[in-house]
Amino acid sequence: MSDPPIKKQPAFQIDPNDGAGISKRIFGSPRKEVVEPEKEVRFTRSSQATLFFFLGTLCVMICIGTLFNEFINWGPTHADFKAYWWLSLTPLIPAALFFRIGVHCVRHAYIIFTPMGIEIFPFWKPEKNLQVVFWSDIHHADFVVNQMILHYNAEETGGIVTSLYPIGKRNYPLLEKAINGRINTTPDVKSKHESKSTN
């Protein structure tokens, strides 16, 4: 008689926040280890993070203001204050959500330059909807106001348009310098420009 087939045990994923406190679980987020960080240039959503931090702070101020107003008008012994004071704490719910999104924007990259190409992470489900543009596919790049346009050919009939608003205006010069410097040193791209100039 043959031995019964051995059932494979399902693999279990380890929670990176296992054993952490409630504050770390809410405001923290797992970070992936970078194999060669010295070869990458990362741009985070710093501009968007500022907006969410502002909204979170505004919600906290609304909570404090309404609670203080109820305390002044009714007093701590008033029946309405004892019954409804907790309603002033409801703005803390969106405040926690805004702060959580702000921390996520600061810790996670929006655009990453790697030796292979440019990785662009969307806001929703970045791991699933990640887009990679290889350096060899980029002919040249244009920067118009707050947009980055990566062209696939000299005729500019194909490419990718990416908004630069999430990284902030102060990072625009660094981003443009990094892309143009990399394109000019990529052999495939240099051969394209040289063939264009000879023609």
pLDDT of residue 9: 45
* Percentage of the chain lying above the pLDDT 90 cut: 14
Residue 37 inside a domain? The answer is no
Domain end, chosen from 89, 107, 125, is at 107
Given a cut of 80, is residue 132 above it in pLDDT?
A: yes
- Please give the helix or strand (H or E) that residue 28 lies within, else none: none
Q: Based on the fold, state whether residues 142 and 195 are members of the same structural domain.
A: yes
Residue 130 and residue 87 in contact, taking contact as beta carbons nearer than 8 Å? no
Quick one: 98 and 143 in the same domain?
no
pLDDT grade for 98, boundaries at 50, 70 and 90: very high
- 103 with 53, same domain: the answer is yes
Let me know whether 94 and 53 are in one domain. yes
* pLDDT score of 13: 39
Distances in Å between the Cα of 3 and the Cα atoms of 6, 9, 10, 162, 166 are: 8, 18, 21, 58, 59
Examine residue 90 and state whether it is found in any structural domain, yes or no.
yes
Q: Say if 113 falls within a structural domain.
A: no
List pLDDT tens digits, range 27-83.
Answer: 444 444 444 544 678 888 888 888 999 999 999 999 999 888 888 878 777 777 778
Please identify, among 87, 107, 127, the residue that sits at the C-terminal boundary of a domain. Answer: 107
In a domain, 35, yes or no: no
199 and 142 part of one domain: yes
Task: Specify if 10 maps to a domain.
Answer: no
DSSP symbols for 132-181:
EEEGGG--EEEEETTEEEEESSTT--SEEEEE-GGG-GGGHHHHHHHHHH
Question: What is the tally of structural domains in the chain?
Answer: 2
Mean pLDDT, the chain, as a whole number?
A: 76
Q: Assess if residue 99 is contained within a domain.
A: yes
Q: For residue 190, is it within any domain?
A: yes
pLDDT per position as a tens digit, 140-166: 888 888 888 889 988 888 888 888 888
Q: Are 29 and 107 in contact (CB under 8 A)?
A: yes
pLDDT of residue 188: 54
Segments forming the whole domain that contains residue 162: 135-199
Of the pLDDT bands very low, low, confident and very high (cuts 50, 70, 90), residue 85 is confident
Chain position carrying tokens 């002033």: 88
User: Do the beta carbons of residue 92 and residue 59 sit within 8 Å?
Assistant: yes
Structural Rg of the chain based on CA atoms: 25
By the 8 A CB rule, do 196 and 154 touch?
A: yes
Q: Does any domain span residue 8?
A: no
Same-domain pairing of 90 and 53: yes
The residues near 105 (Cβ < 8 Å, ≥ 6 apart) are 44, 45, 46, 48, 49, 52, 166
